[in-house]
């Protein structure tokens, strides 16, 4: 995942200290019930399309921007699926962070799924029975989002 400019500027000031980062993740379903997945360039793992919100950016439009930038797919957000705080992550360069992730159920509108930037090795639509091994938390997000309605999941 490309590091946003605002985080690079923060890192100049705080070094490798832990950052609290707002992020979004989309469970995009097409008309056949298939889910849109990407194989990440940084770790080779398959997962939902996700990204870091820019300062002041609204979560749902920010996610739709990420989906379009990374896959060429236009989608609409239908509902909030979950809100989760991931445990601390330390990257190989020593940067530490913790993500607050908002997961949205989205519906495909148009576009052909393709690798659209340097963040992905592959992009494609998968039937729920054909989903490859996913990064932690992603399969659970797909299962929660598969229900068209319902309350958002969060830790109690």
Residue 156 lies in a domain: no
What's the token pair of residue 61? 């439009």
**What are the backbone dihedrals phi and psi of residue 6, each rounded to the nearest 5 degrees, phi first?**
-65, -30
Beta strand pairing call for 120-126 and 35-40? antiparallel
**Domain region containing 98:** 17-145
DSSP 153: B
Residue 31 within any structural domain of the chain: yes
pTM for the complete prediction?
Answer: 0.93
Residue 8 lies in a domain: no
Rounded CA gap, 11 and 14, in Å?
5
The Cα 75–Cα 78 span in angstroms is: 9
pLDDT tens, the chain, 156 aa long? 578 899 999 999 999 999 999 999 999 999 999 999 999 998 899 999 999 999 999 999 999 999 999 999 999 999 999 999 988 889 889 999 999 999 999 999 999 999 998 889 999 999 989 999 999 999 999 999 998 888 899 987
């Amino acid at each position: 995942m490309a590091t946003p400019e605002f985080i690079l500027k923060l890192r100049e000031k705080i070094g490798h200290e832990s950052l609290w980062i707002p992020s979004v993740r989309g469970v995009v379903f097409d008309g056949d019930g298939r889910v849109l997945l990407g194989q990440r360039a940084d770790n080779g793992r398959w997962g939902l399309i996700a990204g870091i919100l820019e300062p002041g950016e609204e979560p749902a439009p920010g996610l739709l921007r990420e989906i379009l930038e990374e896959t060429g797919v236009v989608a609409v957000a239908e509902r909030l699926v979950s809100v989760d705080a991931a445990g601390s992550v330390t990257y190989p360069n020593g940067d530490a962070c913790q993500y607050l992730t908002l997961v949205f159920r989205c519906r495909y509108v148009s576009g052909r799924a393709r690798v659209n930037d340097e963040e992905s090795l592959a992009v494609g639509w998968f039937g729920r029975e054909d989903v490859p091994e996913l990064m932690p938390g992603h399969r659970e997000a797909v299962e929660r989002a598969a229900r068209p309605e319902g309350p958002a999941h969060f830790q109690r």
